[in-house]
Structure 1
Amino acid sequence: MRWLSLFTLFLLIAATLAGAHLVTLYHQQMTAPLDLEQAEVLLVEPGQGFRQIVGEMEARGWVRYPWMVEIHARRAGVADRLQAGEYEILPGLTVTAVLDRMVRGQVIRHRLTVPEGWTARQFFDAVQGHPALRPLPEGTDLGALMADLGRPGQHPEGWFLPDTYLFSRDTPGQQILRQAHEGLTQVLDQAWQNRMEDHPVESPYELLILASIIEKETGQPQERGLVAGVFVNRLRQGMRLQTDPTLLYALEPGETRLTRAELRRDHPYNTYTRDGLPPTPIALPGKASILAAARPTETDARFFVSRNDGTHEFSQTYAEHRAAVIRYQLGGDASRYGGGQR
């Protein structure tokens, strides 16, 4: 019987060693850093099962024993909680850390930066062309989008807030546009409520139009309030705005230069021939321009001209403005001055 006892002891020792080896393998499998030379991206599709996900990890060489990962996930209660999305897998992460990221939904955040001064069309096209966004349904245009946003028939220009938008892969593009529209509406409403007393514009929409002009005329943030102040003074005094960006907005696609004939051609966006504001915004104004339009810097200036370095010379009288134009735009040659208040 002694041989039976020795055999039993041998089996116990073997089982103990095997168990210890399995524990070591389990520990290494779940806690050892992944052998990656650089970050990789793992895409978990909606509806993808746990075993499919672990199978992909095995195929990439991250996992040697998928069944160990499944045992860990079942015991930890996370096997059915992995979220779909796009995950960045960094060198040094462990399998446990990767699973934790999936449970938390720590997906890659893509971005779309919309600069101040873009048009609604540029924003719309950028959304439709972004590789991580789900495009709007075929045939959807800006008119249909505005109707979906609750503004049927409304001109789309100006109604989206420039900002940097973060999102996960396969986010509907319409969601970003809606977020930008809601952001703009909130900023505009707040600015309208806090506008200066006796403001010459009569509605939030007119304030938005004014803000878009300020956006296109301003090269330096510190001048934004002064530019707004000049336009408010002009509106109060019944002067025409005479601002080139409104004419540029009305040019045919691809045209970028204003001619003398264009300055004389009468149309709703020609602020040299028409009084007051143009009929719609001419760009997407940022928050700073909207706030400046609502509460401009107090100034007696009614004119400004570019110094050709990104800044402007502001003048109170036409004589001062004429001298500034000759100095900065005409190289000091007064004979070239063709008149006009801007």
Structure 2
Amino acid sequence: MSTNDKNAKKDMIREKMLERQGEAKIARRIVFIISLILFIGVGATLGGGYYYIKTALEPVDPSNQTEKSIEIPIGSSVTGIAQILEDHGIIKDARVFKYYVKFKNESGFMAGEYAMTPSMTIPDIIDSLKTGKILEEVVFKITIPEGKQLKQIAEIIAKHTEQNPEDVFNTLNDQAFVESLMSKYPDLLTEEILAENVKYPLEGYLFPATYPFYKEDPTIEEIVTVMLDKTKAVVDLYAGQMTERDYTPHKLLTMASLIEEEATEQVDRDQIASVFYNRMDIGMPLQTDPTVLYAQGEHKDRVLYKDLEIDDPYNTYKYPGLTPGPIANAGTVSIEAALHPAETDFLYFLATASGEVLYSKTLAEHNQKKAEHIQ
């Protein structure tokens, strides 16, 4: 074979090798793209599934306290009960409820006629079905609004039970009483509520809701237990999110209470939360007026400069970070804002007389808005 023929053969072999390498490269690229598409698809499916299940386990409408009469026939299966609850708007998804019950190994549901509301949590519903809390005539109801402090809650309880408000308040702060509740709710009422600077251990732990009672003279412990059951059920819904943020129930309820006390009806609470977190990230005091009033133990329409000088651990003008404990009770909207603050650069906010909240990134911008809107 001549030299030219040998060179031509080598060139042909080289071209085929390059062609095969090119084809292999294209094949690898196709496999990579297909794998990536499959991975994204599976991830989206899993992510979407997690979100759907999480949402399905939340109350249908946390603010709807309207009672519905739910009849559970004798011999009903979990599947049948779940479908009845979904049909009446008490749960969002019968299948998710059924699998949740099986996962938690719950059983012993009782037939009967129940009074349930769309605001009930899944644990509340399960507890009701297991304990046979059937539809009875409501003797009275106690409504605890959002943003109420323990002293105010004591007054509300006293009003409905014909007791002395001071006696109720003293009972709520009695050490033996508090410790007995701590033994019942060890995951909710931890040693944090007995820290040295905490003013009132149960502050922020009596969830805002309407509570029906079926006898005329429930004890303070019975009333508070119903409220703590609700608080625990709500807080348990956010267990995973609390872990991600490294929050205990005490820290969560403390931050949520600050948001609750600063928020107006027109404000997006996640924006308020973003200001608090942005300040803490740079070591800036929270400087929120409701904490000053709480430190003083009084309600005022306006906080004066001299009020800011009070030396108290709850005064966030003097002490950075969160207050030692909650300063009021908080609803689910504020709790969720504490866990999911908006992403902003704001360090200041100002509530106008109309209820609108204005946000600023700098003190100069904040002072300008203050001069324009606050007389």
Q: Same fold (TM over 0.5)?
A: yes
TM-score between the two structures when normalised by the length of structure 2: 0.54
Is contact 1:305–1:314 with CA below 8 Å preserved after alignment?
A: yes
Q: Match for 1:230: what amino acid?
A: V
1:216 aligned partner, one-letter code: E
Distance between the aligned counterparts of 1:285 and 1:173, measured in 2? Answer: 21
Residue type of the partner of 2:173?
Answer: L
Which residue is 2:206 aligned to?
160
Q: Which has more helix, going by share of residues?
A: 2
Provide the residue aligned with 1:266 in structure 2.
Answer: 311
The structural deviation recorded for 1:125 is 2.9
Alignment of 1:156-235 (within 5 A): 156-170=202-216, 171-195=218-242, 199=245, 202-220=247-265, 222-235=267-280
| Correspondence for 1:113 | 143
Sort the Cα spacing of 1:310 and 1:105 in 2 relative to 1 into closer, same or farther, 3 A: closer
1:142 aligned onto 2:173: yes
The match for 1:122 among 147, 152, 177 is 152
Q: Does 1:299 align with 2:329?
A: no
Please give the per-residue CA displacement for 1:174-229, whole angstroms capped at 9, x wherever unaligned.
222112112213322433522495x4x75331221111010000012652111111
Q: What is the alpha-carbon distance in structure 2 between the residues aligned to residue 325 and residue 192 of structure 1?
A: 39
Compared CA separation, residues 254 and 105, structure 1 to 2 (3 A): closer
Aligned-pair RMSD on alpha carbons?
Answer: 3.0
Please give the alpha-carbon distance, in whole angstroms, between the structure 2 residues aligned to 1:249 and 1:120: 11
AA partner of residue 179 (structure 1): V
CA 1:131 to 1:156, structure 2 compared with 1: closer, same or farther past 3 Å? closer
- Tell me if the contact between 2:151 and 2:169 (Cα under 8 Å) persists in the aligned partners: no
Q: Which residue in 1 is equivalent to 2:328? A: 283
The answer (yes or no) to whether the contact 1:114–1:162 under 8 Å persists in 2 is yes
Classify the secondary structure of the residue corresponding to 2:319: coil
Residues 157 and 168 of structure 2 are in contact (CA less than 8 Å); yes or no, is this contact kept in structure 1?
Answer: no
Answer whether contact 1:240 1:275 (CA < 8 A) is retained: yes
Matched residue of 2:258: which SS?
helix
The CA deviation at 1:132 is 8.1
Which 10-residue stretch deviates more, 161-170 or 137-146? 137-146
CA distance in 1, matches of 2:233, 2:367: 40
Residue pair 1:113, 1:165 contacting (<8 A) in 2 also: yes
1:38-53 to structure 2, matched below 5 A, reads: none
Contact 1:304 1:321 (C-alpha < 8 Å) held by counterparts: yes
**Cα separation, 2, equivalents of 1:112 and 1:319:** 46
CA drift at 1:119: 0.8
Quick one: distance in 2 between partners of 1:211 and 1:166?
Answer: 25
Normalized against structure 1, the TM-score is what? 0.58
Deviation at 1:113, TM superposition (A): 0.9
CA contact (8 A) 2:208 2:331 kept: yes
Q: 1:232 to 1:140 in 2, by over 3 A?
A: same
Distance 1:255 1:227, change over 3 A: closer
Structure 2 CA distance for partners of 1:148 and 1:137, relative to 1, 3 Å: farther
For residues 265-314 of structure 1, what are the alpha-carbon distances to aligned partners after superposition, in whole Å with 9 as ceiling and x for unaligned? Answer: 32211111111111111111112111111111222212100121112101
User: Matched residue pairs, number?
Assistant: 225
Compare 178-187 and 279-288 and name the one that shifted more: 178-187
Is the partner of 1:271 in helix, strand or coil? coil
In 1, the alpha carbon distance for the partners of 2:275 and 2:230 equals 27
* Structure 2 residue identity aligned to 1:194: Q
Q: Is the Cα contact below 8 Å between 1:195 and 1:295 reproduced in 2? A: no
Q: Any idea what SS the aligned residue of 2:141 has? A: strand
Q: Secondary structure at the match of 2:296?
A: coil
Query: Residues of 2 paired with 1:196 and 1:324: CA distance?
Result: 38
CA contact (8 A) 1:161 1:287 kept: no
